Amino acid sequence: MLRLPSFTYLQPRTLHEALAMKTDAGPDGMYVAGGTDLYPNMKRRHQEPRTVISLMGIPELAQIGMRNAQCGIGPCVTLTTVSGHPTIRDDYAAVAHAAGLVSTPLLRNMGTLGGNLCLDTRCNYYNQTYEWRQAIDFCMKKDGHICWVAPSSPRCWAVSSSDVAPVMVALGADYVLVGPGGERVVPAARFYHNDGINYLTKQPDEVLWEVRLPRPDGWDAVYHKLRRRDSFDFPVLGVAAWVRWEGGRGTRDEGRVAEARIVLGGVASWPQEVPEAGAALVGTDLSDEGVAAAADAAYRPAKPMDNTDFDLSWRKQMTRVYVSRALAELRRRRLPPAR
């Protein structure tokens, strides 16, 4: 029986209250949303907050709204709601799709968008019970000094395993953060750090307040996920592909790719954008040659470590396959029926 350590549980009703509680709790305080990442982690003593501050009682954080034709999603909206919401399904299908691929229905009823975007990084040597980790001696991500994946490495290589984060980076979404010092808006790409321990640029006392999606004005995006089972499992590779068509999506005279972004999940400690892959697509109509060039460009820098499911070299090879599949889907969707 894995028990949670003892802690104080606080339920603020306003953001202001939440920030004050975090200030009082200091470094021993942590925010929680759905708890589907944090509570299992606390059972394994990955995180040991003395004070847990729930954000689920703050009504503004659980809303989805439109402002200036931009969709804003509150971080405490559940993944079930994100994946089923009509606006998100129609205009941000890749977001709805990625949210619907997270874990299983029961966890999507509890797990939130914000928790998914702030998800702890993962590693086979870390996502184990305290006793397991103690038995091989702890690693530097928690309680130890060495990295068992790369023993001579000065850093931790735990893997960014969120399904939705790569999509947010590919879309160019903005995250609104609020801390004691006020509000700031950070592009999704700059919210993440390529470090298994310090994987977010967010300060511990900042609350993710809103996720702002760009207007659906002539771009399209897809997400493809590799995992062992078609359910439950975290991505061992995620591919988010985004393109802006010249002339806009679905118009008669649309032709070629004006701009593109390819972002990989599950291969680094952050959602990894591969600019060379995007660049290889510009000016093409996603022809087979263009797709192959982009897939090759994405394959090269993908550097999965031996710390998740599946054979390392096979996972790297799959980058090429999954990028190609994602781009083939974008090509098929190029001329959707007029709405």
Partner 1 sequence: MKRTITLTVNGAPRSVEVEPRALLALVLRDQLDLTGTHIGCDTSQCGACTVHIDGRAVKSCTMLAVQAEGHAVTTIEGLAAKDRLHPLQQAFWDKHGLQCGFCTPGMIMTAADLLAHNPKPSEAEIRHALEGNLCRCTGYQNIVAAVQLAAGAR
Ligand X SMILES: Cc1cc2nc3c(=O)[nH]c(=O)nc-3n(C[C@H](O)[C@H](O)[C@H](O)COP(=O)(O)OP(=O)(O)OC[C@H]3O[C@@H](n4cnc5c(N)ncnc54)[C@H](O)[C@@H]3O)c2cc1C
- Smaller CB separation from ligand X, 106 or 335: 106
125 binds, among partner 1, ligand SF4, ligand X, none (CB under 5 to 8 A by kind): ligand SF4
Q: Which of residues 217-276 bind ligand X (CB under 6 A)?
A: 232-234
Output the DSSP codes for 217-254: SSEEEEEEEE-SSSSSPPPSEEEEEEEEETT-TT-TT-
43 binds, among ligand SF4, partner 1, ligand X, none (CB under 5 to 8 A by kind): partner 1
Q: Which of residues 70-99 bind partner 1 (CB under 8 A)?
A: 80
Min CB(278)–ligand X separation in Å? 23
What is the spatial distance between Cα 148 and Cα 335, in angstroms, rounded to a whole number?
49
5 binds, among partner 1, ligand SF4, ligand X, none (CB under 5 to 8 A by kind): partner 1
Spatial CA neighbour of 303 closest among 336, 264, 276: 264
Options 104, 203, 251, 313; binder of partner 1; rule CB under 8 A: 104
Report if residue 163 touches ligand X, rule: CB under 6 A.
Answer: yes
For residue 9, the 8-state DSSP code is: E
- Smaller CB separation from partner 1, 54 or 160: 54
207 binds, among partner 1, ligand SF4, ligand X, none (CB under 5 to 8 A by kind): ligand X
In b/e form, how buried is each residue of 163-177, taking b as 16+ CB within 10 angstroms? bbbbbbbbbbbbbbb
- Strands (DSSP E) contained in the chain are 8-10, 29-32, 51-54, 64-67, 70-73, 174-179, 182-187, 207-213, 219-226, 237-245, 257-265, 272-273
Q: Which of residues 91-130 bind ligand X (CB under 6 A)?
A: 102-103, 107, 110-112, 114-116, 118-119
Min CB(32)–partner 1 separation in Å? 9
Options 25, 32, 140, 173; binder of ligand X; rule CB under 6 A: 32
For residue 130, the 8-state DSSP code is: H
Q: By the criterion CB under 6 A, which residues form the site for ligand SF4?
A: 123, 125-126, 139-141, 147-149, 156-158, 196, 307
For residue 60, the 8-state DSSP code is: G
Label the pairing between strands 257-265 and 237-245. antiparallel
Min CB(157)–ligand X separation in Å? 18
In b/e form, how buried is each residue of 40-77, taking b as 16+ CB within 10 angstroms? ebbebbbbebebbbbbbebeebbebeeeeeebbbbbbb
In b/e form, how buried is each residue of 138-160, taking b as 16+ CB within 10 angstroms? bbbbbeeeebbbeeeeeebbbbb
Min CB(160)–ligand SF4 separation in Å? 12
Min CB(36)–partner 1 separation in Å? 6
Spatial CA neighbour of 69 closest among 185, 214, 187: 214
318 binds, among ligand X, ligand SF4, partner 1, none (CB under 5 to 8 A by kind): none
Tell me which residues touch partner 1 (CB under 8 A). Answer: 1-9, 35-36, 39-40, 43, 52, 54, 56, 80, 103-107, 109-110, 231-232
Tell me which residues touch ligand X (CB under 6 A). Answer: 30-38, 40, 55, 75, 79, 102-103, 107, 110-112, 114-116, 118-119, 161-163, 207-208, 232-234
